[in-house]
A and B are shown apart, each in its own frame.
Chain A
Amino acid sequence: MYPHERSLVSRLAEEPFALVGVNSDPVEKYRTAIEREDITWPSFWDGGSTDGPISTKWAVYGWPTIYILDHEGVIRAKNKREEAMDEVVDQLLEEMRGG
């Protein structure tokens, strides 16, 4: 997942696109991952466990869980990964440009 996310973020660096994480790791583990995997995108830190308040509020029971929002903040897809994620994101960017 990291390589795909890294390439998505770098490919769309100049586009109106954001990848935002909600991370469930203990602090040290999270910091290690950021360094090791060269993670440049922001994450909410959810208190160090999968029981965290954000995951709880969003009723997340499996990881990773993915939501894709359009530029107006509307949920447009869930749990699309790798190429399927790229496809949805590209389509939403296209839609945004097309107005």
Chain B
Amino acid sequence: MTSSTDCSGGREPISEKQDSLPEMSEDPDSAELAAFRAAREASNLEYEELTESFVPRYEALADEYWGTGAGLEAKIWAMSRAARPVRGEEEEEGAEEARAAKITEQTDAIFEEYGQSPHIEQLAENSHLLNEDQAEHYLGQLRESSPHANVRAAAIYHPASRKLSRLRFEEPEEGTDPRAEIDADLQLLIDEYGDVPKDGSTYGALAYAHLTAHSEEELAIGQPAPDIIGTTVDGEEIRLSDFLGKVTVIDFWGDW
């Protein structure tokens, strides 16, 4: 395994191993995997029901594709079901501990197989499955010792992002200043992982967006809307200020 300690923020190759993996959607055997995803997306209302019946199938797919990115994806889906209580059912005593123990066991297995793999970025992305202690333990490990910049960046970014969204809705504990630590992590992402890709963006751009996010006051009725500078899906630059002079509806949307 080639190891990289490159922290220059340059775009580290996300490993040849990953590039050579079968892309699930192109793999005939994985049509089922794609169908699961479609079914899950198609019906949030029946999510519980869907995941219930799919967990054993996710598990089977994880076994079959273990060692590839798709195998880890399937494993994480299965875990996501196990990570929370069944809706509407009374919890037995110790159920939460039992769930946490199961997550620990499964995460250990993931680390054994994927600890040095770039795919384990997926675990950082889904760190809401881990409780606070688990997140600190596992993501801390990735952050310190993964050879892959995408994994280290994810292990820094996702906990910071999660803490920030919590701060939007909850007051911090008295006498603590969680913002200072979060901001230091965001700055670290900008400085050292600026160009590492994340979906269609980069960890640097996302960290910067968090650091400079508009406050509730700035986005209040009666305030001038801050400009948005971005691109269309075809890469053409557009700005919100292009539409000055027109009554404008901004619609944050997705096709789901």
Contact = CB atoms under 8 A, between A and B. Distances in A.
B233 A58 contact: no
Contacts of A30: 233, 255
Interface stretch (B54-62, B104-112, B237-245): B237-245
Contacts of B225: 67, 69, 73-75
Contacts of B249: 8, 17-20, 66-69, 85, 89
A22 B246 contact: no
B243 to A, nearest CB: 4
B243 A24 contact: no
Contact of A31 (B220, B233, B253): B233
A48 B222 contact: no
Contacts of B232: 42-45
Given A44-B230, A48-B200, A65-B252, A16 B205 contact: no
Interface string A21-46: 11111110111110001000011111
Contact of A53 (B206, B221, B222, B247): B206
Contacts, number: 189
A17 B250 CA distance: 11
Contact of A75 (B209, B220, B243): B220
Contacts of A1: 253
A70 B222 CA distance: 10
A75 B224 contact: yes
A63 B253 contact: yes
B238 A59 contact: no
B224 A89 contact: no
A15 B248 CA distance: 11
Contact of B254 (A16, A24, A59, A71): A24
A60 to B, nearest CB: 5
Given A42-B238, A53-B205, A57-B214, A23 B253 contact: yes
A22 B214 contact: no
Contact of B199 (A20, A21, A48): A48
A18 B248 contact: yes
Contact of B250 (A53, A57, A67, A71): A67
Interface in B148-206: 161, 165, 168, 198-201, 205-206
Interface of B: 161, 165, 168, 198-201, 205-206, 208-210, 212-214, 216, 219-225, 228, 230-233, 238, 240-241, 243-256
Which A-B residue pairs are the 7 nearest by beta carbons? A47-B201, A33-B255, A47-B200, A56-B209, A44-B230, A45-B233, A48-B200
20 contacts: A17-B248, A18-B243, A19-B251, A21-B251, A24-B253, A25-B256, A27-B233, A51-B198, A51-B199, A53-B209, A54-B209, A54-B252, A56-B206, A56-B209, A58-B213, A66-B252, A68-B249, A70-B247, A71-B248, A89-B249
